[in-house]
């Protein structure tokens, strides 16, 4: 059975489908010595040789490569790219090293946004989690500066016009604050560029702090300091896979006898308070990356 080349490479952890499509269009991928084009389908055999930038990609059977997912507490100031020509820190710098696989980011967060960022070794899982068709809910704690009255809140939940189309928050809940600085928790089911900030700007409010606290039902682990990561246990990983109609995993790479940080799933009806996320958490070398890959 043949499969699209970008899907094969995504499942092998070489990036999301969108990222790989760009690499193919740039002529950087070859199959059995022939430069690949977007849309090519490949039937994998024992002799099939796929190269990216001249490097041979090892394609293992799915049962030999268990899906892994990390929850990362992105601090402000890091950018969501693998390499930065200006030498700025990236979200990949602190992640554990992998052999014959790569961490793929599930979406992006702006340089000035902090909070939960998921990474996985399965590019197909990353692609589906980002796809708006699956309507995976993202929740943010946001501190805004400005006068926000009932009419503006109504606009934000019923819909306003942005430069790339109509947009609205799925839910919006006041969390507290004094004067012109107020905290809200908002949810979206899509990941347009700077969408949360742009929605508030339309009604004349400025976002002064933005923290993603939940992706689907996976919440930002309370015990993580900024720059820290935790590998999700098998039940959490399978929750994400089931959400986007992928086969469930039966094995995990998490060490059984080691202490490990677990990511808690949000209970039904539970809300995350912005106030609990407002207090700064200083990053420390001891607190970051207590788990080995």
Inter-residue contact 101 to 59 (CB < 8 Å): no
Inter-residue contact 128 to 244 (CB < 8 Å): yes
Exposure string (b/e) for 82-114, b if CB count within 10 Å is 16 or more?
Answer: eeeeeeeebbbebbeeeeebbbbbbbbbbeebb
110 catalytic residue (yes or no): yes
Which structure tokens are listed for 104?
A: 């793929």
Which structure tokens are listed for 197?
A: 């900030």
Task: Give the number of C-alpha atoms closer than 13 A to the C-alpha of residue 258, restricted to the C-beta side.
Answer: 13
79 to each of 74, 109, 113, how far by Cα in Å?
9, 8, 10
Q: Sign of the C-alpha dihedral, residues 167, 173, 175, 179? A: positive
* Catalytic annotation, pick one of 32, 53, 84, 110: 110
Which structure tokens are listed for 55?
A: 């490097």
Among 203, 231, 238, 215, CA closest to 289: 231
- Cα angle 173, 174, 178; round to 5: 165
> Catalytic site residues?
110
């Amino acid at each position: 059975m043949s499969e699209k080349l970008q899907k094969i490479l995504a499942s092998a952890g070489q990036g999301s489908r969108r990222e790989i499509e760009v690499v193919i269009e740039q002529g950087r991928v070859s199959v059995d010595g022939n430069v690949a084009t977007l849309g090519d389908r490949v039937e994998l055999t024992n002799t099939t040789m796929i190269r990216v930038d001249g490097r041979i990609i090892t394609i293992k059977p799915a049962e030999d490569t268990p899906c892994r997912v990390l929850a990362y507490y992105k601090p402000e100031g890091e950018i969501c790219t693998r390499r930065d020509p200006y030498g700025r820190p990236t979200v990949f710098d602190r992640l554990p090293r992998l052999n014959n696989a790569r961490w793929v980011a599930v979406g992006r967060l702006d340089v000035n946004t902090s909070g939960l960022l998921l990474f996985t070794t399965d590019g197909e899982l990353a692609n589906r989690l980002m796809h708006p068709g699956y309507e995976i809910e993202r929740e943010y704690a946001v501190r805004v500066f400005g006068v926000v009255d009932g009419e503006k809140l109504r606009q934000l939940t019923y819909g306003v016009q942005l430069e790339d189309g109509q947009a609205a928050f799925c839910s919006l809940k006041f969390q507290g604050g004094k004067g012109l600085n107020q905290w809200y928790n908002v949810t979206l089911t899509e990941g347009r560029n700077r969408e949360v900030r742009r929605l508030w700007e339309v009604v004349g409010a400025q976002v002064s702090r933005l923290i993603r606290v939940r992706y689907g039902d996976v919440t930002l682990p309370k015990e993580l300091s900024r720059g820290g990561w935790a590998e999700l246990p098998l039940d959490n990983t399978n929750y994400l896979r089931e959400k986007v109609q992928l086969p469930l995993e039966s094995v995990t790479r998490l060490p059984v006898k080691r202490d490990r940080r677990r990511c808690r799933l949000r209970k039904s009806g539970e809300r995350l308070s912005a106030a609990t996320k407002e207090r700064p958490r200083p990053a420390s070398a001891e607190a970051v990356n207590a788990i080995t890959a």
